[in-house]
Structure 1
Amino acid sequence: MSKSNTEALNTFLAQRFPHESEYLQATSEVLTDIMPIYNANATYKHYDIVRRLCLPERIIYFTVSWMNSHGEVEVNQGWRVQHNSVMGPYKGGLRFHPSVNLTILKFLAFEQTFKNALTGLPMGGGKGGSDFNPKGRSDHDIMLFCQSFMRELQRHIGAQTDVPAGDINVGAREIGFLYGEYRRLNNRFEGVLTGKGLEFGGSYVRTEATGFGLVYFLEAVCKAHNTDIEGQRIAISGAGNVALHAALKAKQKGAIVVTLSNSKGTLACTSGFHESDIQWAIHNHTMESNVLTALCQQSERNMQWHKAQTPWSEEVDIALPCATQNELNHSDAESLIHSGCKMVLEGANMPCTERAQQAFKKAKVVFVPGKASNAGGVALSGLEMAQNAVFSQDDANTLDAQLKTIMQNIHYRCEQEGTSDTGIDYAKGANVAAFRRVADAMVAQGV
């Protein structure tokens, strides 16, 4: 497939899915890197691997009609995108948010396939969710919705088929409600969901895994570039599990974390948050309507709340976008470059726009895509699946050590495939390393 054929495939996807911008962005970014590998392999071309890999194996859509605690009927939409199962059961989170739609879930499932392949664990890629918004809802209403959602989803998942986890707005509470309904309906206690409570098959370190894994990957990047995390000024976006645990681990490694943010604005602390600040936010972020303003008000340190602003205007050495897709645009990238930022590692799924990524590359800022640096959560989910399969529960120290090893191995794979005379291209390395693993498995299993 020549360059013109690459363009033809992008056109093929764009014509069939003209309104799915996030999905088209994700596929286009990957195709740029993997096409030379595809072109050089006659077997890949014979099996039309790239086209098959871009298209989901199955998309499940369902309506969730449910009655809230006031006796009112509500109607939401639900999806499960089962993108690729060639390397194992579909694996990926469930997201409950008003912005959830098919294009977002297709891009997430596509990215998840590559991310899961990088971990080295036997997992395929999938993603799902609903446009239900749990914000401001009672626990009872959330339970009623989760039960109704699972009554539809349970037909399509299983420990050896599809193993969902949590994502935005789907935490331990929601996973518990979902799992309880699955167990009652199927009369089976099995590892069909990850992120469960410790009392019923959950795993230590799962809550912390994505944020901790991000910092473990950052450690490996720093080592490869002859530097260290200690003393580095870090801007972090987000105020959920990923951002807060990344902030905590970075602080424990000696970094100076100067920002956290949410959709309402940015909390900045020029001298750096103390570990006690971050711990307070971790313990209270699900109980406060805006945990960052609450932290600012209760702290005795010099913090500034910047309403409706992003964290990317601060002078920092490292940026860790951990909020949501396409949150960091070209203008933000230019601000970071101007302030002397040397590294950007994605803690969310595709938080940097395509133009932002191009700006980082042009300025020779080290850029690591989420499919590599964000893989800690699903890696720990894979370890939870392994524990469930043998009815065991490993201790936190063992799992933390395994998580660090997996992130170091992902860095090694990216380094092997992405190193050239000009340095390490982590985006290319991640895409190529994951593609080889998935493509070889697809060839081995035939059409």
Structure 2
Amino acid sequence: MSKIDEKLQPVLDEVLRRNAGEAEFHQAVREVLESLGRVVAKHPDYANHALIERICEPERQIIFRVPWVDDLGQVQINRGFRVQFNSALGPYKGGIRFHPSVNLGIVKFLGFEQIFKNALTGLPIGGGKGGSDFNPRGRSDGEIMRFCQAFMTELQRHLGEYTDVPAGDIGVGGREIGYMFGQYKRLNNRYEAGVLTGKGLVYGGSRARTEATGYGLVYFVQQMLAARDMSLDGRRAVVSGSGNVAIHAIEKMGQFGGRVMACSDSNGYVFDDEGIDLELLKEIKDVRRERLSEYVRLKGAGAHYIENGSIWDVPCEIALPCATQNELTEKDARTLIKNGVIVVGEGANMPSTPEAVNMFQDAGVMFAPGKAANAGGVATSALEMQQNASRDSWSFEQTEERLAQIMRNIHDNCAATADEYSAPGNYVLGANIAGFVRVAEAMRSLGVI
């Protein structure tokens, strides 16, 4: 683990003291602070006026009760969260996650990461995140609708197109966004399309938003390889997860000539000798809403499901963790390196442990951190806000070209920043410093707020 500059150690100590038990948030803060020692050495004024301390403290933390009625008429209680972390660059922007693991520490880690991710897009959006410990798995459409309405009944008072603009995340897709937008519209008596992103195309959504995170990840990896005169063509890849990000990363990999051999869910992973059949995967996950193990039954020969296995045991050149935080461990990193991996691109938020990241960097593996590599989703959400504000709707091709350009800009910014701070090829340091400097300059301009 990298050493934190002595001027920044008191900042971390205070974060640990004031946010006891929030391991993921501690990890996210530490990872950024480890990069900022070079900034403080070059620009000592960044250590003044508690600027870094203010970035580490959310502007607002909202926790609320969500009572709702299930199909049996029983009242259920969940907990809702929204952490509005930093609005120096624009309205808070970040997803809503519905998953049993959601707690305040998880939401704060995600919101903290979102500050820098959003800054890297170059678009006028601040950082925030939200969610609930509600588990949508196994619930009927009616139950999900009633939960979303109950959740939005409280959250809506904290939202607005110039205040806070949520989107989807794990457990929150187009269906859930629709139910929440409907409740917001019902309670506020106005059609404020820009208050939520990830909406359906028929009521203000943006083309290419569904694909954006997975597509953007592959664009970023493609740029990393191109910087070394390499390409994705013919490369073997594995993608963890089998949700929206993973599916569209698999799709874009295929368009660039790569072949994804395996993908996973929480119970295990599928390996296909011929490469993952994208259309079959979409049918299983998007249409049938079944577990990934169904892939083998429907595909037949050549497909294998390894229950409780680690997808990182599959030899590959490109590894794209697209499932959840801390899924790729030091042991997994060692296996990937042994099997010849050359690039790791994070499609999820902080899916690699610090030990794994250090191992990749020490081995010379190109490593793309999530706050840069998966920024395509939030970037396209901001483009959706732009279309809503102008009462416009862009074509898929126009939106994807904007996405591709944004990802190229993020890559080039991270690479140039790493070079500037004498760490060529270190995209982690480049992303952290580039994102921090943009937010810090905005905060300094606005005074002590």
TM over 0.5: yes
Task: Indicate if the aligned counterparts of 1:111 and 1:371 stay in contact, CA closer than 8 A.
Answer: yes
- 1:115 counterpart residue number: 117
Task: Indicate if the aligned counterparts of 1:38 and 1:50 stay in contact, CA closer than 8 A.
Answer: no
Q: SS of the counterpart of 1:61?
A: strand
| CA distance in 2 between partners of 1:369 and 1:187 (Å) | 41
Task: Indicate if the aligned counterparts of 1:89 and 1:163 stay in contact, CA closer than 8 A.
Answer: yes
- 1:90 counterpart residue number: 92
Task: Indicate if the aligned counterparts of 2:284 and 2:294 stay in contact, CA closer than 8 A.
Answer: no
Task: Indicate if the aligned counterparts of 1:194 and 1:384 stay in contact, CA closer than 8 A.
Answer: yes
Q: SS of the counterpart of 2:282?
A: helix
Q: SS of the counterpart of 2:171?
A: coil
- The letter for the 1-side match of 2:13 is T
Structure 1 range deviating more: 295-304 or 51-60 = 295-304
Give deviations 1:266-294, integer Å, cap 9, x for gaps. Answer: 10123422xxx212222430444544222
| CA distance in 2 between partners of 1:344 and 1:161 (Å) | 35
Q: 2:232 aligns with which of 229, 233, 237?
A: 229
- 1:433 counterpart residue number: 434
| Pairs within 5 Å for 1:148-167 | 148-167=150-169
- 2:45 counterpart residue number: 43
- The letter for the 1-side match of 2:441 is D
| Pairs within 5 Å for 1:163-174 | 163-174=165-176
- 2:354 counterpart residue number: 354
- 1:259 counterpart residue number: 262
- The letter for the 2-side match of 1:284 is I
| Pairs within 5 Å for 1:40-439 | 40-190=42-192, 191-273=194-276, 277-288=277-288, 290-419=290-419, 423-439=424-440
Give deviations 1:204-241, integer Å, cap 9, x for gaps. Answer: 11110000011111110110121100011111100000
Give deviations 1:37-81, integer Å, cap 9, x for gaps. Answer: 134324322222111111111000100111223221111000000
Give deviations 1:111-166, integer Å, cap 9, x for gaps. Answer: 00000000000000000000001110000010000000000000100010000000
| CA distance in 2 between partners of 1:270 and 1:86 (Å) | 49
- 1:9 counterpart residue number: 11
| CA distance in 2 between partners of 1:431 and 1:312 (Å) | 26
- The letter for the 1-side match of 2:9 is E
Structure 1 range deviating more: 434-443 or 42-51 = 42-51
Give deviations 1:296-318, integer Å, cap 9, x for gaps. Answer: 21114511110001210111111
Task: Indicate if the aligned counterparts of 1:43 and 1:443 stay in contact, CA closer than 8 A.
Answer: no
Q: SS of the counterpart of 1:164?
A: strand
C-alpha RMSD of matched pairs (Å): 1.3
Q: SS of the counterpart of 1:268?
A: strand
Task: Indicate if the aligned counterparts of 1:415 and 1:424 stay in contact, CA closer than 8 A.
Answer: yes
Task: Indicate if the aligned counterparts of 1:39 and 1:45 stay in contact, CA closer than 8 A.
Answer: no
Q: 1:21 aligns with which of 14, 20, 23?
A: 23
Structure 1 range deviating more: 237-246 or 293-302 = 293-302
Q: SS of the counterpart of 1:62?
A: strand
Identity of aligned residues (%): 49
Q: Judging changes above 3 Å, is the alpha-carbon distance between structure 1 residues 329 and 350 closer, same or farther for their aligned structure 2 residues?
A: same
Task: Indicate if the aligned counterparts of 2:360 and 2:367 stay in contact, CA closer than 8 A.
Answer: yes
- The letter for the 2-side match of 1:181 is Q
Task: Indicate if the aligned counterparts of 1:88 and 1:123 stay in contact, CA closer than 8 A.
Answer: yes
CA displacement at 1:4 relative to structure 2: 2.2
CA displacement at 1:18 relative to structure 2: 2.2
CA displacement at 1:324 relative to structure 2: 0.3
- The letter for the 2-side match of 1:173 is R
Q: SS of the counterpart of 2:7?
A: helix
Task: Indicate if the aligned counterparts of 2:284 and 2:295 stay in contact, CA closer than 8 A.
Answer: no
- The letter for the 1-side match of 2:139 is R
Q: SS of the counterpart of 1:111?
A: helix
- The letter for the 1-side match of 2:19 is F
Task: Indicate if the aligned counterparts of 1:347 and 1:374 stay in contact, CA closer than 8 A.
Answer: yes
Q: Judging changes above 3 Å, is the alpha-carbon distance between structure 1 residues 399 and 301 closer, same or farther for their aligned structure 2 residues?
A: farther
Q: SS of the counterpart of 1:367?
A: strand
- The letter for the 2-side match of 1:85 is S
TM-score, normalisation: structure 2:
0.96
| CA distance in 2 between partners of 1:343 and 1:434 (Å) | 22
| CA distance in 2 between partners of 1:249 and 1:170 (Å) | 22
Q: SS of the counterpart of 1:4?
A: coil
TM-score, normalisation: structure 1:
0.97
CA displacement at 1:422 relative to structure 2: 6.6
Structure 1 range deviating more: 437-446 or 32-41 = 32-41
CA displacement at 1:17 relative to structure 2: 1.5
| CA distance in 2 between partners of 1:242 and 1:347 (Å) | 7
- The letter for the 2-side match of 1:424 is G
| CA distance in 1 between partners of 2:28 and 2:332 (Å) | 20
Give deviations 1:320-372, integer Å, cap 9, x for gaps. Answer: 00000000001000000110111101000000001111111111111110000
- The letter for the 1-side match of 2:358 is Q
- 1:446 counterpart residue number: 447
Q: SS of the counterpart of 2:209?
A: coil
Q: SS of the counterpart of 1:208?
A: helix
Q: SS of the counterpart of 1:435?
A: helix
